Amino acid sequence: MGSPSTATRVSARRHRIAPEPETRYDRRLAEILAHATEVFCKKGYEGASMRDLSRESGMSLAGLYYYFESKERLLYLIQRHTFSTIVERLKARLQGVDDAEDRIRIFILNHLEYFLANQSAMKVLSHEDEVLKNGFGAEVAAIKREYYRICVGLLDDLKRERGLQSSTRIAVLSLFGMMNWIYTWHKPRVDADPESIAGQMADLFLRGVMAGGKIRKER
């Protein structure tokens, strides 16, 4: 009968004990999300039609609605999954690392590695930022705020450790700009590997934040 894509979905989860945490439904949904991500990346959220998504994923137009109840919720699912994954990985990587500078380098590396390994998804996340309305938008915005706060915390730690006093807000937002803008220019053929780019951006940012005193050439 009706589609199960509303809120919680119970019946499709077979009562397995361990070996297969993924149901058929979850796998199929993930496939659709992956294809939809590519289309949204290429044509933009508004520019991509449900018929484009149907063609790309090989499923009929109506068939898609068995997996989600609206185009907007589809975008929400993509954004939430992408964003929570990157936050989750970051937290794991920061475990056990104490040095403030190292932690910022890890932040940058994690962000860029994930960005470049999942360029389409991250472009959809960055570029289709304001399209989700009230409910959906608020939840993604909350994850974004958490991610932002983590970065602010890392930089504040560094500033405390080294006695720096520049504006955290401007510095952090500049860093996000550097990193997120990469989707507009990165070309795998011409640009170096993620580690290298992350290293260069980290150098640029950390020197910029830490280099003290006057910069202007004395005359």
**Residue 57, class by beta-carbon neighbours within 10 Å (0-12 exposed, 13-18 middle, 19+ buried)?**
buried
Which segment (18-26, 65-73, 84-92, 180-188) binds a second copy by CB under 8 A? Answer: 180-188
Q: Which is nearer to DNA, 2 or 213 (CB)?
A: 2
- As given in the structure block, the two tokens for residue 216 are 């202007």
Least CB distance from residue 44 to DNA, whole Å? 11
Question: 85-144: which residues touch a second copy (CB under 8 A)?
Answer: 99, 101, 127, 129, 131
- Does position 131 interact with DNA (CB under 7 A)? The reply is no
Are 123 and 139 a contacting pair, CB within 8 Å? no
Q: Could you give the angle at the alpha carbon of 130 between the alpha carbons of 27 and 88, nearest 5°? A: 45
Which segment (61-69, 70-78, 114-122, 170-178) binds a second copy by CB under 8 A? Answer: 170-178
- Does position 150 interact with a second copy (CB under 8 A)? The reply is no
- As given in the structure block, the two tokens for residue 47 are 């520019």
**175 Cβ partners below 8 Å, 6+ apart?**
108, 151, 205
Question: 57-76: which residues touch DNA (CB under 7 A)?
Answer: 58-63, 65-67, 69-72
Residue pointed to by tokens 């361990």: 18
Interacting residue ranges for DNA, rule: CB under 7 A: 1, 3-4, 11-12, 23-25, 28, 48-52, 58-63, 65-67, 69-72
